[in-house]
Structures are given as C-alpha cells and as structure tokens.
Amino acid sequence: MAERIGFVGLGIMGKPMAKNLVNAGNDVTVFNRSSASVEELVAEGANAGSSAADVASKSDIALLMVPDSPDSETVVLGENGLLEGASAGDLIVDMSSIEPGVSQKIHAACSEKGINFLDAPVSGGEPMAISGDLAIMVGGSAEDFERAKPLFDVMGKSAVLCGDSGAGNTTKLANQIIVGANIHALAEALVLATKAGVNPETVFNAINGGLAGSNVMNAKAPMMFERNFAPGFRIELHYKDINNAAKTANELDLPLQVTANLQQVFKALVGWGEGGNDHSGILSYVEKLSGVTVTNN
C-alpha cells in the first residue's frame, strides 16, 4: 500500500512542491496558515488538514517547508505540531533551510518518540520547485532516505544523502555561500563592463561557455542586464541563510570572510527595502557603490 503523505507550509516553494506530489498521484493532506493555499491544493486533489498535528495523524510521511529555524521548531515540536500527531515509525521530512543545530535538536526530539526524521533542504528557487527539478540535500539515515526517495524524485532532479542529521542543512549553507559569492562577483563584473563601455549582454555571451560559466551566471546575468528582479529566490531569504551560515561558522570557530561580506551586503539591501527582490538584485548594492547602472540598452 502506498504511503500517505502530509505537507505543511504552502508558500512560494512549498505550494508547487506539494502540487507536484498531488499530481504524481499521491494521497496528500496539506495544512497552511493561509487557507487560500489549502483550498487551491484541495481543488487539485489534496485533502485539507486542520493543523500540523492533524496532518501528521493522517500521514505516514509528513513534509514541511517553512521559512526559518523557529518556524520548523514550532511546526514540529510546538502545540498542535507534527510530533503531537505522529505515530511511532512515521517519518518527518523538514525541507526548510534552517540551522543544522536546530535540525539535530528536532531529530533528537523525534527519536525520543520513535519518529524518524530527515533534514532535506532544497536549491533551485521557485522555478525549479514548479518544474520539479530541485536539488535536494539530505541529512539522516540511509533507510529513511530510501523511504523518502520516491517523493524526492517527484520534487527534484537530484537527491543526495550528505550524512547524518544536520548534514543536509550544512550542505545547503555551503550552497548558499557559493551562490551568493557568484552573484556578487557577477554583479561586479557587469558593472566593470558597463563602466568600460562594453555591453554586459555581450560579455555574458562571450564568457558563459568558458571557465567562468555557471548555472548561477546563466540564470542571473540576464536578470541583471534586463533589470528584472522579480523574485525566484528573495534577497531576504538568502540573507536568512547567510545569517545561519555565519552562526554555524561562529559555533565552529571558523573565520569565513566571504560569508561575512555577503552578510553585510544582504543587510544593506534589506535595510534599503529591497529584501523582496530576487537575489540577482545584489547588483543594486554594487551599482549604488559605483554609481553605474547596468543595462543592455
């Protein structure tokens, strides 16, 4: 018999992920603080849950996708949370991007009740959540990973077991450092080209087949020279991830210079009211410092 699936958190990422699970023929029960998202999923074939606990009581595998560490703790460990409704042997999969230490805390609490737990953050933003092409980074046991793998295969193009509890979110933090640093470097490169009188789109076309080419550049350079900062992944969320990376580095007594610099860049952008823009909007920070505006016109 196919396992029953629960999904809590139907935001910009969670809603399309849950939709893909429903469209793949799974029996999915959903809950979200906003009833409109629940109603949308129900119209597509999902079942409505009245709380996270209710979702867990009607599921064998319960997934959640929420903004940050305190939200994960509330949804799993809080009143009417998943742990309250789950039964021994059930599996909770937290696909949120949170602090690795919080994942380990939740794992320990679940283990005390005989509940299995994976941390499984994703990369790819809203476009990949919609298309089902997310990269999924997983922390936990190999047995639980294999149990959840059919669901990961629906939501993502890759899923890798990175290690024990917390390893998924450690990997996600590494990913976010690399992505942020690439976007910042790209922004500086296009500002340099513009100031020197070279069309930034021409620069992109010239270098994207060489060593500088990357998925980040392919996705974000056109957004920069077309000045389209509609969010696929918001600055404020990347700032949250970099803050978590900085906290984790501090706990490990690591001096991470690029991470610290990114933290200040994102802090400035959020302070300027640009936190809702796509993280390609790091360009705005570089432009403000240089007095140069990038455009392909």
Active-site positions read 172
Whole-angstrom Cα distance, residue 52 to residue 105? 19
Strand partners, 5: 28, 61
Cβ atoms of 148 and 93 within 8 Å: the answer is yes
Q: Return the biggest CA–CA distance within the chain.
A: 65
Name the residue type at position 246: A
- Minimal CA–CA distance to 245: which of 270, 262, 267? 262
HSE-up of residue 290 (Cα within 13 Å, Cβ side): 19
Which is nearest to 94 in space by CA: 74, 114, 80, 112? 74
Rounded to 10 deg, the angle between the 142-155 and 14-23 helix axes is 90
Which conformational region is residue 132 in: left (phi greater than 0), alpha (psi within -120 to 50 degrees), or beta?
left
How far, in whole angstroms, is CA 199 from its chain's centroid? 33
Tell me how crowded residue 210 is: count the other CB atoms within 10 A of its CB: 7
Which amino acid, one-letter code, is at 160? V
Contact 126, 232 (CB under 8 A): yes
Q: Which of 244, 223, 237, 115 is nearest to 168 (CA)?
A: 244
